[in-house]
Structure 1
Amino acid sequence: MPDDLLQALAAARPDLGPAPDRTRRDRDLTRALASAPDASSAPARRGRSLWKAAGLGVVAAGTAVAVIATTGTTPPTPQSRPSETAPTPLSAREILLAAGASSLKAPAAEGDFLYTRWISGRQISIPGKDYLLDSRTEQEMWRAKEPGHYQYMINRDLGTALASSAAEQAWKADGSPRGWTFETPPFEFFGMSQERGRVRVKLEPPATTPDVWRHVSDFGVGRIGSRLATPENLAKLPTDPKALYDRLLREMTAMTDAAPKENRPDPVQHRYLLSGDLFRAGVDLVARLPVSPALRSAAFGMLSHIPGVESRGEMTDPLGRTGQAIALTGRADSNFVRNGEMVQGGTLYDTVLIIDPSTGTALATADQISKPVWPPSDRQGQWRSYELFQESRWIPALPMSRLKHAKHSR
């Protein structure tokens, strides 16, 4: 177990004294944390998704896409990395407690505009080819704390490279093709269907000019529970992990119950969908939104209360950053209730969150395929979509030299 992670785990239980040796320290921390209160039970400090235009969604399989070639270096394929000494893996609870304890150390931020920078990407499979492509866009956003101001976004197409050095070697052995055109077959399951689609993949260099957009909105970050995710509303959320979980669960349930009866999901399906909504809200709170250290700590703890969340151990993201991964397992493209039980159809995937517990920061989130179904070229372990979190901080003023030519987005 790395020393920085041990320090973060120890911070979750400050009453733990120094251990005489490394083996005993690991055992003590594991045993103590298994019965410890949530990390953010320390005195609380007061303190969904981004624009649809931000491009956080991915192009569905079967649509025409234009993606690019390798530009020299290739990103590492996201993968789990077993430790040389093979220690006992940390549980999801231990990972989240450690991250919550570390996040409390962050100073409270100030400023009039929230600046965030991240990379959205997806891995692309080619029928009959033993390699994956990796397509990315870098995005920057500036959001005003007060409503009614312009909010700005820069989208920069980073193009596509082979997803790993091994993929690049396989691509060269295949003759280094410059493009592919193929059809995806139709898919049907319990009355749900996906039509046949034609896909064109073209190798192109990254865009030379970024797109700059602006629009006016009320902070532009969607909702957390039943509330707009403004700084004022976020400051009203509980900073106790279980209380935060209960609040969001109650509000999300009430929103479903308020829908017309014909639009309400079956109770079994509703529980399944709620766990996904809660996990996404947790990711928003720890990675995307302007929250206090106390609320971020509570959000890490809240994630541990969601049924189905488990540890994936050490994992490396496409930027080569290594952290501890947790996952909400067993998601599916198509879900049906039959005889009171959930029937999952289509491709199965796990929603993964990679965390650096020693600093209390989220590195990346992804939908990772666990059972490919459609399109048939997809493969187990493929990251069909992901976000790489790079920067989030308050700043005093907008960099208008970069934003003055922004196009208006409605």
Structure 2
Amino acid sequence: MTDPLDDPVLQRLAAANPVHVVPLTPEESARSEAALHRIVTTPHQGQRRRSASMLRRWATVVAALLTSVAVALVATTPASAEQVLLEAAENAAKQQPPSGEYLYVRSQAEDPYSFPYEREIWSSRDDAVLRDEGGVSFMAFSDGKDTFDPSLARVMDLNEDGETSTFGNGESITWDELAELPTEPRALERRLSEGLAPSGHGDEWDLWKQVVGLLLESPASPDLRRALWQVLAAAPGTELLGAMTDSAGRPATGIEADFTQEVGEREVLLLDPSDGTLLESRTYADGTLAHRMTVLESGYRDVAPDVEPYHCGPGSVPYVSC
């Protein structure tokens, strides 16, 4: 008796579960349909009276194989950058609204001119304080030292000159102005673009940097975060880099925006699309890392640390102890 799975297309279907497969060609699809029809309708020689139950079992097996291949194709077909960003947008909108007086963000930064250093910021509607190891790290690096002393960084008052703390990377947006931004993506894009002063690097680059800045360190609501991701999803020239690991060792999905023609840089985002979290932002120039910011912790606090005095008295260098 001829085994129905002797058909080469069915053998391919069976072998494809659960390994990686590629889509069937139109010719192969037609052959698989014909084989399925042949199995369930035509008796084989020596078994002209195959039972209906046996035929149904074969039909079930083949249908399961076809289904498994379809699932495998969906699972292994690479998504686009737009699809990943839209997934992040929808899941960001599902997060709980924030609560607490201060938005707290702890991050690590890296560039070619300093050792990797941490940055902490506590922001509220009325005030903001910052502990930034960047100045200490830069001075130690430029002095040729092997490392730097994080204890030399002080907690600074960002509003000591009377200005209100703002967010973004281009246009400075206050806490209250952030709450008034539209959450429809096209309206948000227009609003952000209209408020940006030209940097000389092109409108698309300016908008990208502004949106990324708001995603990294602003108290954007879940609905606004969805719209911010949607603005990035509509940006031209994005590419999916696939599965990556951020500098903290967390799994992420990489997205790249190529601005080499405008400013000679490539912008890379590492995100978790399952909850709409931006984990890391990288900038590459001439193939080398120019800047990295990795968000290690983000949430809300009811209190912020006290501002620390200058190490060497009023008027001294704010980052470094005597």
* TM-score, length basis structure 2: 0.65
1:44 maps to what in 2?
none
Match status 1:221 vs 2:179: no
Residue in 1 that maps onto 2:87? 98
| CA shift for structure 1 position 326 | 1.3
Aligned twin of 1:112: 101
Greater fraction strand: 1
The aligned residue for residue 211 of structure 1 is 154
Q: 1, 24, 48: which is aligned to 2:70?
A: 24
Counterpart residue identity of residue 221, structure 1: T
Which letter maps to 2:302? P
> Which residue is equivalent to 1:383?
289
* Closer/same/farther in 2, CA of residues 28 and 110 from structure 1, 3 Å limit: same
Correspondences of 1:164-243 after superposition (within 5 Å): 201-204=144-147, 206-216=149-159, 217-222=162-167, 228-243=172-187
Q: Which residue of 2 aligns with 1:351?
A: 267
Work out whether residues 81 and 239 of structure 2, in 8 Å CA contact, stay in contact via their aligned partners in 1: yes
Contact 1:143 1:219 in 2 (8 A): no
Letter in 2 for 1:97: L
Corresponding letter in the other structure for 1:233: E
Give, in angstroms, the shift of residue 222 of structure 1.
4.7
CA distance in 1, matches of 2:90, 2:156: 37
Does the C-alpha gap of structure 1 residues 159 and 321 become closer, same or farther in structure 2, counting only changes over 3 Å? farther
Q: Give the 5 Å matches for 1:30-41.
A: none
1:115–1:142: 8 Å Cα contact kept in structure 2?
A: yes
Distance 1:307 1:317, change over 3 A: same
* 1:24 alignment partner AA: A
After TM superposition, give the deviation of residue 26 of structure 1 in Å.
6.7
1:7-406 aligned within 5 A: 24-25=70-71, 87-123=76-112, 135-146=115-126, 149=127, 151-156=128-133, 201-204=144-147, 206-216=149-159, 217-222=162-167, 228-252=172-196, 255-256=197-198, 273-331=202-260, 348-369=264-285, 372=286, 380=287, 382-400=288-306, 403-405=307-309
Change (3 A) 1:23 1:108: farther
- AA aligned to 2:276 is G
Computed over aligned residues only, the root mean square deviation of the Cα atoms, in angstroms, reads 3.3
> Shift in Å at residue 144 of structure 1?
2.4
Gaps of 5+ in 1: 1-19, 30-86, 125-133, 161-179, 181-198, 257-264, 336-343, 373-379
- Name structure 2 gaps, 5 residues minimum: 1-65
User: What's the secondary structure of 1:291's corresponding residue?
Assistant: coil
Q: Secondary structure at the match of 2:249?
A: coil
Greater gyration radius: 2
Change (3 A) 1:22 1:144: farther
Residue 100 of structure 2: SS of its match in structure 1?
Answer: coil
Distance across 2 between alignment mates of 1:301 and 1:26: 28
**CA distance, structure 2, for counterparts of residue 202 and residue 114 of structure 1:** 34
Structure 2: distance between partners of 1:28 and 1:88: 5
Q: Give 1:140's aligned amino acid.
A: E
Identity of aligned residues (%): 25
The one-letter code matched in structure 2 to 1:229 is I
Higher relative contact order (CA 8 A, sep 6+): 1
Q: Deviations over 1:131-177 (max 9, x none)?
A: xxx8211011112212xx4x2111236999xxxxxxxxxxxxxxxxx
CA–CA distance in structure 1, aligned partners of residues 136 and 209 of structure 2: 27
Contact kept? 1:135, 1:159, Cα under 8 Å: no
Give the 3-state SS of the residue equivalent to 1:246 in structure 2: helix
Which whole-Å CA distance do the structure 2 matches of 1:302 and 1:316 have between them? 24
SS at match of 1:107: coil
Give the deviation of 1:102 after TM superposition: 1.0
- Letter of the aligned partner of 1:113 in structure 2? Y
The TM-score with structure 1 as length reference comes to 0.52
Deviation at 1:384, TM superposition (A): 2.1
Task: Count how many residue pairs are aligned between Structure 1 and Structure 2.
Answer: 244
Question: Deviation at 1:224?
Answer: 7.0
- Supply the AA of the counterpart residue of 1:290: P
Q: Which has the higher helix share?
A: 2
Q: 1:353, 1:365 within 8 Å by CA — same for their partners in 2?
A: yes
Q: SS state of the match for residue 99, structure 2?
A: coil
Deviation (angstroms), 1:331: 2.9
Contact residue 219 and residue 229 of structure 1 kept, 8 A? no
On the 8 A contact 2:86/2:229 being kept in 1, the answer is yes
